[in-house]
Amino acid sequence: MKTFGLRTRWVLVVASTLIALLAFGGVVAGAEAHGERINPAGVGTIVVPTGTLEVSVVNTDTFGVVATGSYSNSVDWGSCLHWGHDDGSHKCFPGFSGTFSEAHVMPGYGVYTVTLVVSGGQGGLYETWETVEFPLPPVVTPTCQIRVELIDLPSREISASVAYTGGAPGVWHFLWFGDELVPGPGSVGWQGTDGIAGPYPHQYDQDGEYELRAAIYGGYPGACTATVSIRQPEPPASHTLQLPWVGRGFRAGRGCTIQNRVGADPHEYTTTLSWWGAPAQWHTFFWGDGQSVGFLGSIGSQSWTHVYNPGSYHQVAVFSDGTEACGATVTVP
């Protein structure tokens, strides 16, 4: 963006001329306050310096400008171009008259007044200037959205990713999982202006409600949050189940079977679960003693080893939609 302001001023320091005028009894008629020339009688001719100036912005990214113009009636090296910033940068030109085209890089965003000063003989002075502006770019407020997926409920493992826009280049952005013990940098960090960060895996130590928070740093900081609930499902209050068994929530086309084998230690059981027709998600197998393990997929078979204390236990497989698929009872001496 360029704004234009033009002012022309000449100052004539004519002490000797005034003395001469006084000697002749007064000011000569016809002398002009803004003319190009003053001719006091008996003193000689004073030539008024002059010049032209035009400043153009050539690169808004690097703050480049070009100043073009001319000067005349100047003393040698008496015509100077001042760039208008704090370090006093300027360029002077030789000779009585001439033209110029000068490139310059301004130090950054701001408003700069570029001035051409032409110094003539016997105190003549001419100034003209133009103002150029490099406005600050519009400030973009970053945006983000956190996506959380539950990977394994029994182990409390999740995966989180962050879709974001408006980040500043070369700046770190952060994600907190909500279980940090002390304030500080995010659990994970990344750099970029926009895109999807992650997925980042994370495992919680205990059940609970956790608020994930992401901070994206750009012209302004932007933030977003998401909440994840880690709750181990409770087994049904009571079961009188025998192998094989299909629960009350059974749906046509789905089911499962449980097989138990006792190891050399009578308290150690190897349990094999086979299932089919389930949603393609994580499901839960309850051992009946307050512990559980997850299994994944719409169809499959999986074996685990589990150690019981003496007693009677009801094993239950529950699909992700709450359907009790099958159960079995084990009695440990």
Domain 2-134 is found in CATH 3.40.50.150: no
The reply to whether 2-134 and 255-332 are identical in fold is yes
Instruction: Copy the structure tokens of residue 3.
Output: 């704004």
CA distance readout (Å), 26 to 30, 38, 40: 12, 15, 10
Count of CB atoms situated within 10 Å of the CB of 298? 14
CB environment 29-50: b (16+ within 10 A), e (fewer) = eeeeeeeeebebeebeebbbbb
Instruction: Copy the structure tokens of residue 201.
Output: 């895996």
DSSP 45-96: -EEPPEEEEEEEEEETTTTEEEEEEEEES--TT-EEEE--STT--EEEE-SS
Please give the distance of CA 290 from its chain centroid, rounded to a whole number. 46
Per-residue pLDDT of the chain (333 residues; tens, 9 = 90+): 444 444 444 333 333 333 333 333 333 333 232 333 333 333 444 678 999 999 999 998 899 999 999 999 999 999 999 999 888 889 999 999 999 999 999 999 999 999 999 998 777 889 999 999 998 877 778 889 999 888 877 788 899 999 999 888 888 999 999 887 765 555 889 998 889 998 999 988 888 889 999 998 876 777 888 888 887 765 544 333 333 344 444 455 678 889 999 888 888 999 999 888 888 888 889 999 989 888 888 888 899 999 999 999 999 988 887 776 788 899 988
Whether pTM exceeds 0.75: no
Instruction: Copy the structure tokens of residue 199.
Output: 């997925």
Domain coordinates in residue numbering, the chain:
2-134, 143-230, 255-332
CA distance linking residue 16 with residue 33, whole number of Å:
18
Class of CATH domain 255-332: mainly beta
Report the SS3 class of residue 44.
coil
CATH of the structural domain 143-230, one choice from 2.40.50, 2.60.40, 1.25.40, 1.10.1790: 2.60.40
Instruction: Copy the structure tokens of residue 203.
Output: 């495992």
Q: What is the dihedral of CA 63, 69, 72, 75, to 10 degrees?
A: 20
Contacts 24+ apart (CB under 8 A), 41-45: 43/16, 43/17
